[in-house]
């Protein structure tokens, strides 16, 4: 349940668009909106922000609060999220110079690695926000996969999405081992059985999640799941990619994202929603 939305703000050219997008999400979930600014705070900054809030229709809304913070941006954003019990933090991804690719800056990576809430990154926020119509969700083996599918279905239903594509990696190592030990016919039978099992695994989860009215496509991929997921989202012209938050630690790889999700973070194909229900789980 999204009750409190945080928006990390800086006075950049995209602030108006981010405020508009956050306002749409606020109305979608009937949630509070907490604006978090780290840096200078004076009459000039307040006047700029108030003007933008008027422009996007949030001025005077009792459900909107502003937090003016000092210190290291990543640390202050995370501490405010924790202190205020924020469920979803919204931020903008950075665009690479002269390229169509998007990447995560140092602050965004810190937030993704340490945040105890879900995070939604907008690659191209708009001053006239549009519903998410083509949603791709990763159904990898993950403790939070059901919550990720649940949020994807919920947003798809609210936005009357055209498609919800559910992507799951098919484990090919068993099939690879079988190639040297069976005939071509036996190999094909094993492959079809693996495909059927993975589709059934997804269908079992979906049976527990309200999604009636959504057109659902289950897509199985082989290879590096993060890479294949990103490419699939590009091919389908997705406007939202939903993934479950990774485990907090990756042993030796904790300092950087070297697991499958690194492929996604290195070149964001579209808006990215990382579902992290840790706060709900930890609170029972």
190-209 pLDDT tens trace: 788 888 988 999 999 999 99
Beta strand pairing call for 118-122 and 271-275:
antiparallel
- Quote the pLDDT of residue 257: 43
Task: Tell me the C-alpha distance between 193 and 116, whole Å.
Answer: 38
- Cα–Cα distance between 256 and 205 in angstroms, integer? 31
Domain ranges of the chain: 1-127, 131-264
For the residues 178-190, what does the mean pLDDT come to?
A: 74
CA dist 155 to 70, 192, 202, 213, Å? 34, 32, 18, 12
Q: Model's pTM, two decimal places?
A: 0.87
Burial of 118 (0-12, 13-18, 19+ CB in 10 A): buried
Name the least confident of 38-52, 218-232, 267-281. Answer: 267-281
CATH class of 1-127: alpha beta
The class (CATH top level) of 131-264 is alpha beta
CA atoms within 13 A on the CB side of 101: 13
Do 166 and 244 touch, CB atoms closer than 8 A? no
- Using DSSP bridges, classify how beta strands 118-122 and 4-9 pair: parallel, antiparallel or unpaired: unpaired
pLDDT digits (tens, 9 = 90+) for 150-175: 999 999 999 999 999 999 988 765 56
What percentage of the chain carries pLDDT values higher than 70? 83
The answer to whether domain 1-127 and domain 131-264 are alike in fold is yes
Q: Are 67 and 36 in contact (CB under 8 A)?
A: yes
pLDDT at 152: 97
Instruction: State pLDDT tens for residues 85-124.
Output: 999 999 987 655 444 444 456 677 777 778 889 999 999 9
- Please tell me the number of Cα atoms within 13 Å of 28 on its side-chain side: 22
């Amino acid at each position: 349940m999204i009750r409190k939305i945080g928006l990390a703000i800086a006075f950049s050219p995209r602030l108006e668009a981010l405020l508009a997008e956050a306002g749409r999400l606020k109305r979608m979930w009937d949630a509070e909106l907490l604006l978090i600014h780290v840096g200078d705070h004076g009459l000039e900054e307040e006047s700029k922000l108030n003007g933008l809030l008027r422009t996007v229709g949030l001025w005077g809304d009792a459900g909107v609060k502003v937090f003016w913070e000092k210190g290291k941006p990543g640390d202050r954003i995370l501490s405010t999220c924790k202190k205020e019990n924020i469920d979803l933090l919204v931020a903008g991804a950075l665009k690479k110079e002269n390229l169509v690719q998007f990447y995560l800056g140092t602050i965004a990576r810190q937030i993704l690695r340490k945040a105890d809430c879900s995070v939604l990154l907008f690659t191209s926020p708009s001053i006239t926000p549009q519903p998410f119509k083509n949603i791709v969700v990763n159904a990898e083996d993950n403790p939070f996969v059901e919550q990720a599918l649940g949020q994807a279905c919920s947003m798809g239903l609210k936005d009357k999405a055209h498609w919800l594509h559910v992507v799951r990696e098919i484990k090919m190592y068993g099939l690879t081992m079988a190639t040297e030990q069976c005939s071509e016919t036996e190999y094909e039978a094993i492959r079809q059985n693996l495909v059927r099992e993975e589709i059934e695994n997804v269908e079992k989860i979906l049976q527990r999640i309200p999604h009636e009215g959504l057109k659902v496509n289950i897509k199985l991929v082989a290879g590096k799941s993060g890479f294949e997921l990103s490419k699939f989202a590009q091919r389908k012209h997705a406007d939202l990619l939903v993934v479950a938050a990774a485990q907090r630690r990756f042993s030796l790889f904790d300092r950087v994202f070297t697991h499958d999700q690194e492929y996604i973070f290195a070149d964001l194909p579209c808006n990215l929603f990382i579902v992290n229900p840790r706060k709900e789980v930890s609170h029972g």
